[in-house]
Amino acid sequence: MQADAHGIKALLARRAGEGADAATIAAAALLIWRDVDEALAPIIGQSGVAALYKRSLYLALVEHPCLVTAYEGALRAGDFAGLETTLSQQTSDEASAAIISLLTTFHDLLTHLIGGSLFERLLRSVWDKPSSGNAAKDPAP
């Protein structure tokens, strides 16, 4: 498992598929964040995951202003629908760059808080989770 920018890019490619359109990238991003929430909420609580998610959005929107809508819509813990909507309205390149930046920022924040080794153990299931082949067809939890 690699959670650096290269590993995150590989995760997105595995979940969305190479050459995916923005809607598929957005659907994959939603599923990744749901998996992150599922892995971390029992440990740091849904409000802890939500706080880290919102802080990551805030930091990532400097490079990707399109994320401001997702940031403003991140009101409830576990609700990543605003991110999906925002990403689906971008070009596929911008959607991909924005979610990679957001996940990299999240990785960096959480790693600084708990350390790389613990981060790897807690989120191994997210990074190692195989795709069902099409993020848009994966069922919601």
Q: How many Cα atoms are found within 13 Å in the side-chain-facing hemisphere of 98?
A: 31
For each successive 10 residues of the chain (141 residues), what is the average pLDDT? 72 89 95 91 89 94 94 80 94 96 92 74 65 49 44
Average pLDDT, the chain: 84
pLDDT at 1: 40
Taking the C-alpha atoms of residue 122 and residue 138, their distance in angstroms, rounded to an integer, is 23
pLDDT at 72: 85
Give me the number of domains the chain comprises.
1
What's the maximum distance between 2 C-alpha atoms anywhere in the chain?
A: 36
Domain hosting residue 124, numbered range: 5-137
Q: How many Cα atoms are found within 13 Å in the side-chain-facing hemisphere of 89?
A: 12
